[in-house]
Amino acid sequence: MFYISGTGKAIPSQIVTNNDLALYLDTNDEWITSRTGIKERRILKDHTENTVTLSAGAALEAMKNANLSAKDIDCVIVATASPIQPIPSTANLVAEMLGIHGPAFDINAACSGFVYGLSVAGGFFAQNMYENILLIGADSLSTYIDKHDRSTVILFGDGAGAVTLSATENPQAGLLGIDLSGDSSLAPILEVRNNNHPEIEENAESHLTMNGREVFKVAVRSVEKSIATTLDSANIKGQDVDWLLLHQANVRIIDAICERLDIDREKALTNIEKYGNTSAASIPILLAEVAEQNRFKDGDLLVFCGFGAGMTWGTCILRWFENK
Ligand code: COA
């Protein structure tokens, strides 16, 4: 069994508001807020900030909150779709920066990456392989966004969130339910192609392309099904959920999910207004902020659900515990 022993986050210093975007794009604060719930996002300021530095910042905060040092960490997993280089992995670069020795690897499941990572870590704990795992969700999708594409630039922000996961004898701890799902035939509705792609001209820039309406529909349908299936398999009723931590992509998606699953809207935590969609970082940043405010109580039932490019989606259920 394991529990979340520490949480942390790191966000770029540069704030880009809806009004900042409206200065050079045919858009406005009212449209963006009413369609998405987003008011501002954080964007990498310069080359001193990137997916690795944000990951390391979030990891240090999580380790500090858990009272763990580099020598205590047995494995590093980073969920990211925006590494600064293909190899070695972001996790290797972070481990080296923080002085952590041991296995380190990345997971790319786009915006579902943190939930996929949680289930992978849960498998390691089930095999009693490690005492402490550092799991980070980090993305800098601004590096893939065409700043003049009003349909995508309004949505995404950069950031990183991290958790330390620690072994415990508590029989109520650990994953109470998991669902990892996806549909690769839907890949073209949200993608970034690079120069290796056969249909991309040499030296063309890689930009994120998205069919927003289709993504919206798939997200609502798949998230509803994933959460319902996972609750069902764990024999838990919607009303027994204390907190829903959904990927922060669009507040209207979150509203629709709560309505369809008959879960009180107040239980669905949000911070999308401040950060937009930070991809694999959105759930761990949200978790870190709410933990910082001491809003979770011992034994609270937390449902995590991510969805994103691939298409990928998935749900993990676990209880919050203050101590081992
Ligand atoms: N500002 C002002 N108008 C905009 C705009 C913007 N930033 N972006 C699009 N529009 C316009 C469109 O051109 C369209 O105009 P038209 O009716 O004259 O053709 C109109 O607004 C409606 O566009 P539409 O794309 O139908 O809006 P929507 O209600 O579907 O909202 C999204 C667009 C992107 C906000 C919404 O589809 C969405 O959030 N989808 C999910 C995306 C997502 O979550 N992606 C990440 C998944 S991990």
Protein residue whose Cα sits closest to atom 24 of ligand 1: 213
Q: Is position 101 annotated as part of the catalytic site?
A: no
Residue 233, judged by CB atoms within 10 A of its CB (0-12, 13-18, 19+), counts as: middle
Catalytic residue, from 247, 250, 305, 316: name it: 247
Give me the pLDDT at residue 199, please. 76
Pocket probe mutation, ligand 1, options 146, 216, 305, 311, max atoms within 8 Å of Cβ: 216
Give me the pLDDT at residue 323, please. 83
Give the predicted TM-score (pTM) of the model.
0.97
Q: Any idea what the Cα angle at residue 310 is, between residues 305 and 311, rounded to 5°?
A: 50
Residues contacting ligand 1 via CB (< 6 Å): 27, 31-32, 35-36, 111, 150-151, 154-155, 210, 212-213, 215-216, 219, 249-250, 277, 308
Q: What is the mean pLDDT of residues 59-64?
A: 98
In the chain, the percentage of residues whose pLDDT exceeds 90 is 94
Give me the pLDDT at residue 33, please. 98
323 Cβ contact list (under 8 Å, min separation 6): none
DSSP state of 262: T
Ligand 1 centre distance from Cα of residue 154 (Å): 10
* pLDDT band, very low/low/confident/very high, at 131 (cuts 50, 70, 90): very high
* pLDDT band, very low/low/confident/very high, at 198 (cuts 50, 70, 90): confident
Protein residue whose Cα sits closest to atom 14 of ligand 1: 151
Ligand 1 centre distance from Cα of residue 97 (Å): 40
Average pLDDT value over all residues in the chain:
96
- Which residue did the predictor score with more confidence, 196 or 290? 290
C-alpha dist (Å) from residue 233 to 221, 240, 307, 317 = 18, 14, 20, 11
C-alpha dist (Å) from residue 166 to 68, 156, 170, 292 = 10, 31, 11, 18
How far is Cα 195 from Cα 310, in angstroms, rounded to an integer?
19
Q: What is the separation of C-alpha 173 from the centre of its chain, rounded to a whole number of angstroms?
A: 21
Give me the pLDDT at residue 164, please. 98
Beta pairing, strands 132-140 & 75-79: parallel
Q: What is the mean pLDDT of residues 268-278?
A: 98
How far is Cα 77 from Cα 92, in angstroms, rounded to an integer?
9
- For residue 110 the two structure tokens come to 């786009």
* pLDDT band, very low/low/confident/very high, at 195 (cuts 50, 70, 90): confident
pLDDT above 70 (res 203) = no
Among candidate residues 256, 293, 289, 286, the one with its CA nearest the CA of residue 272: 286
C-alpha dist (Å) from residue 109 to 103, 312, 319 = 19, 6, 24
How far is Cα 76 from Cα 133, in angstroms, rounded to an integer?
6
How far is Cα 257 from Cα 191, in angstroms, rounded to an integer?
24
pLDDT above 70 (res 44) = yes
Catalytic residue, from 75, 111, 258, 305: name it: 111
DSSP state of 266: G
Q: Which domains does the chain have, with CATH numbers?
A: 2-167 (3.40.47.10), 175-319 (3.40.47.10)
Per-residue pLDDT of 86-116, as tens digits, reads 999 999 999 999 999 999 999 999 999 999 9
Per-residue pLDDT of 224-258, as tens digits, reads 999 999 999 999 999 999 999 999 999 999 999 99
Protein residue whose Cα sits closest to atom 40 of ligand 1: 212
